[in-house]
Amino acid sequence: MKVKFTKMHGLGNDFVLFDLIQDKRLKDIDWPKLSKKLSDRHFGIGCDQILLLSKADGADFSMLIFNADGSEIEMCGNGIRCLAKYIWDTGLYYSEKLNIETLAGVIKPHKAGQLVMVDMGAPEFEGRKIPVNMDGRVVDYPLNVDGREFNITCVSMGNQHAVIFVDNVDSYPVEQVGSLIETNKFFPKRTNVEFIEVLNKDEIKMRVWERGAGETLACGTGACASVAAAAFKGLTDRKVLVHLRGGDLDIMWNEKNNRIYMTGPAVTVFTGEIDIETYEI
């Protein structure tokens, strides 16, 4: 069965998008299994995550997200900017404001010139709601991993994040530490891990180990969680430029309504067609 796809990225965090509105055959696919194969950069199309676009009853559209390891996740900030761009570019919806249903709730992207601004909602600091295996706020919590101690600050942006502040993020062993913390029993649903170097009150530098995907060039929800953690600890102001390996995101945590707004680019790389029957799903 040949199906069309669109390859996109947000600051190098890359996606393969499938439009289930245009091709209803795709609703019957085993996406956890197929996602693992299509995400492979040698034997598939290659991406960090698979995005599925559908219609929704309680919103304009719906977005489902599958990691490169086949696991389904609640939300992806870079992914939702790409999904919104696809909707506008293909003429599925002409309003500059969208309501997109995700497993983390309804997220609201809108056009901001050539960029996309997204109302990412309010950060959650309460441990059991993140979730982590601890009551109360998890701020500078000393997590013991294989005999080493890491001070983590945990935040949910509809998905789980453990933020670690470091002196030099460029030389930090992100893969080694990130993989250990991701799967630690402290996190019942695993976690994303952000490594943050604070440059000044208005700028931070970030690397990210994404749950189910490994180190990626950018993570939108991770940037939001990191700014929330940094501002909460008094390390930065509430409006921060986040430097990621793939580029920059503008993050603003509104003091009046407690919501976080993310602004950044979304890029279409190419479109294509693939015969998914060759993947023996």
> Parallel, antiparallel, or unpaired: how do β-strands 267-275 and 2-10 relate?
antiparallel
Tokens representing residue 39 in the block: 């995400």
How far is the C-alpha of 111 from the C-alpha of 115, rounded, in Å?
Answer: 6
Where do we find the tokens 């939300």? Answer: 75
How far is the C-alpha of 238 from the C-alpha of 232, rounded, in Å?
Answer: 9
Tokens representing residue 27 in the block: 């609703």
Phi and psi (nearest 5°) for 40? Answer: -60, 125
H or E segment and range at residue 15: strand 13-19
How far is the C-alpha of 260 from the C-alpha of 254, rounded, in Å?
Answer: 6
How far is the C-alpha of 8 from the C-alpha of 271, rounded, in Å?
Answer: 9
Catalytic residue among 47, 82, 219, 224: 219
Burial class, 231, CB count within 10 angstroms (exposed 0-12 / middle 13-18 / buried 19+): buried
Q: Is 76 marked active-site?
A: yes
Give the side-chain half-sphere CA count within 13 A for 128. Answer: 2
Neighbour tally for 144: CB within 10 Å: 10
Strand partners, 144: 149
Catalytic residue among 47, 76, 82, 154: 76
Burial class, 146, CB count within 10 angstroms (exposed 0-12 / middle 13-18 / buried 19+): exposed
- Catalytic residue IDs: 76, 219
